[in-house]
Structure 1
Amino acid sequence: MLPIFGRQLLTGARMLLVLTLVVGLAYPLAMVAIGRLMPAQDASIRNSAGEVVGNARLAQPVSGDEWFFPRPSAGDYDGLASGASNLAANSPELLKQIADRRFQIAEREHVDPASIPADALSASASGLDPDISPEYARLQIPRVARETGLSRKDVTAMVQANTQDPLFGFIGEPQVNVVTLNNDLANGGR
């Protein structure tokens, strides 16, 4: 009985040592090494003076018709209140919010309410998504050009410059980062 217990104890001690080395030392060191090899992931948005004015990964509220509007946010673009509204797809409250947004956007953009894309009407799951569809961005180009005094061609070029294609050409959908786009507008297209 004692020899069997001794073998089991020795096996357990070896496994503890091996797992400690692999999970406690090798894996963390590998993650640190990979992190050091990756390029910097600074998503800070800077104005023309070099001051940080936002983050490319967090939507920000805008006021004024000279800006591109982001998706709606259930948490008023507050990172501490990140999350969806948790309203069911057939909730009367959600359906009223969507109808109200559709009316407001149609009025602001002078378009047929049926032409408004879904991402303009519904908040993202986090409420902080900085990306809109190219369709929603194109819908806003005439208003932004009119309000800023820039040509439609220049505003369209800014939209194109801030459009990201799907990963590997087929994973996901094209998207426009509204935060970087509005920063380009603030800097006069530079």
Structure 2
Amino acid sequence: MKKYIWPSVKLTIFMILVLAVLYPSLIAAVSKAAPGQGKGRTISVNGKVVGYENVGQKFTEDKYFNGRPSAVDYNAGGSGGSNKSASNPDYQKLVQERIDTFLIHNPGINKEDIPAELVTASGSGLDPDISPAAAMIQVKRVAAARHLSENRVMTLVSDHIRGPWLGMAGPAKVNVLKLNIALDTLK
């Protein structure tokens, strides 16, 4: 029995050093080399942090582009999606309410033209990006609310479209916070 205890104690001490000291130290060092030094990539306007590049925010005014709905109310402290299936009556009611709200704020758009991402929450509830189609469908509302030409707003959206990573991985997308900041800086 004694011959098994000492190796177990040594293995336990070794694993504590590796998993509780060395590995966390390595991860902390790697994060310091990443953009934002492990604190996230903040977006600042006039020296004031207004948000994070990789966390969605709630925009409800007509003069702003809306992002994807959030099941966690954009709480970055705990991401999560809805656990309701697409056939769940409560979920269907929630999506219908989002569709109705979108149609009220965007008259002239048909229900079937609304991109699904504008009325359904993502798995994390924190998506900062929408598709170019989801941004373009909101151009008319935003332009009218800001008394700008639709062409000017469309150009701004086009300027904020990021293509797939390395030109092949993932879809094209628009960061909603960056787009709304750019709108606020228009003269």
Alignment partner, residue 172 of structure 1: 170
Equivalent position of 2:185 in the other structure: 187
What is the TM-score normalised by the length of structure 1? 0.77
Secondary structure at 2:186 match in 1: coil
Structure 2 unaligned spans of 5+: 4-10
8 Å contact from structure 2 (residues 36, 42) kept in 1: no
Is 1:53 aligned to 2:50, yes or no? yes
CA contact (8 A) 2:114 2:134 kept: yes
Contact 1:45 1:183 survives alignment (8 Å): no
1:141-180 mapped onto 2 (5 Å cutoff) = 141-180=139-178
Larger mean CA deviation between 132-141 and 79-88 belongs to 79-88
Unaligned runs of 5+ in 1: 6-14
Report the equivalent of 1:121: 119
Separation (CA, whole Å) in 2 of partners of 1:115 and 1:84: 24
1:46 Cα deviation after fit: 1.5
Q: Does 1:103 align with 2:96?
A: no
Aligned to 1:76: 73
Q: Deviations over 1:34-68 (max 9, x none)?
A: 55655556521222x22111112111112310000
**Alpha-carbon separation, structure 2, partners of 1:184 and 1:45:** 12
Aligned mates of 1:100, 1:30 — CA distance in 2 = 47
Greater shift, 35-44 or 64-73, is seen at: 35-44
Q: Find the counterpart in structure 1 of residue 61 from structure 2.
A: 64
3-state SS, counterpart of residue 80 of structure 1: coil
Letter in 2 for 1:60: Q
Deviation (angstroms), 1:116: 0.5
Q: CA deviation at 1:127?
A: 0.8
Cα-Cα RMSD: 3.0
Q: Which amino acid aligns with 1:45?
A: I
- 1:86-101 aligned within 5 A: 86-101=83-98
Count of aligned pairs: 184
Deviation at 1:138, TM superposition (A): 0.2
Which digits, 9 at most, give the CA deviation of each residue in 1:54-93, with x for residues without a partner?
1121111123100001111111112234211110121111
Counting aligned pairs with the same residue, the percent is: 35
Q: 1:131 aligns with which of 122, 129, 136?
A: 129
Q: Which has the larger radius of gyration?
A: 1
Amino acid in structure 2 at the alignment position of 1:161: D
